Amino acid sequence: MTTESLIAELTMQARPVARIAHARVCAEWCAVVLLCLIGGCVVSGVAEELYIRLNDPLFIGELALNVMLIVIAGCAATAFAYPDRAQAPLLKPALIACFAGYSGLVASTIMSAPALESSAHGLECFTCILSFAALPAIWMFWRLRSLASTRPMHAGAAAAMMAVATGCLGVRLVEHETAAAGLLLWHYIPLLVISAVGLLLGKKIFRW
């Protein structure tokens, strides 16, 4: 087929195009994340001592970092699905700041918690995170697939990171464990591992 005939064929398909706004997609995943968190908390029940733990600055810091990571990773994943937004200069520094915050948090937790508490978190945390993360992940990959990602691997990693950060936040709201060294092993290392899996998934799923 020649370029001219392709142009003629594409021109015949011209029709009014409904723009998919970046802000709309962001609002959609925000709603999905909120629904998922509320649903998860209703089903599993919010931890009884949550209100007491809300006085702990480390716990508040952790929740804030989780929310921040959800927002940054979600916005980044959405931006990576738009050709002209994929190079937003603030995405990388924001993610780096977020991980620096996590490093500080984990270091403070390890220093302040007794060594015995390192066994407080386990495989159950991980499966719970996955159950919280499943819906946002499925939704995010499905939604971004209909857009035009010019950085599919980045988009996949950011989408997976957003979903797992939602899982981490949800689990911290329903679990009874306090912060401990095991938090790093069972909450935040899986976050990085699943984000890496998201890189590969993005390459496969965001083909267009």
Partner 1 sequence: MTRRTENEARLAPLFAAAMQGERKAYGTLLHEVAGLAKRYVTRKLGPQAECDDVVQEILISVHKALPTYDPARPCMPWLAAIMHFRLNDWLRARYRSTQHVHVPIEDVQDFLADTVTEAPLAYEYVTKAVGSLPQGQQAVIHAMYHDELSVAETSEKLGMSISAVKVTAHRAYKKLRTRLEEE
132-136: long-range pairs with CB below 8 Å, 24+? 132/36, 132/37, 132/40, 132/166, 132/167, 132/169, 132/170, 132/171, 133/163, 133/164, 133/166, 133/167, 133/194, 134/163, 135/32, 135/35, 135/36, 136/29, 136/32, 136/33, 136/36, 136/162, 136/163, 136/166
Residues 2-31 that bind partner 1 (CB under 8 A): 2-3, 6-8, 10-22
What character string, x for contact with partner 1 (CB under 8 A) and - otherwise, covers 165-194? ------------------------------
Residue 89 in the binding site for partner 1 (CB under 8 A): no
Cβ atoms of 144 and 81 within 8 Å: the answer is: yes
Which CB sits closer to partner 1, 18 or 116?
Answer: 18
Task: Please pick, from the candidates 38, 60, 90, 148, the single residue that binds partner 1 as defined by CB under 8 A.
Answer: 148
Q: Which is nearer to partner 1, 106 or 158 (CB)?
A: 158
The residues in 36-75 that bind partner 1, with binding defined as CB under 8 A, are: none
Where along the sequence are the contacts to partner 1 (CB under 8 A)? 1-3, 6-8, 10-22, 81-84, 86-87, 147-148, 150, 208
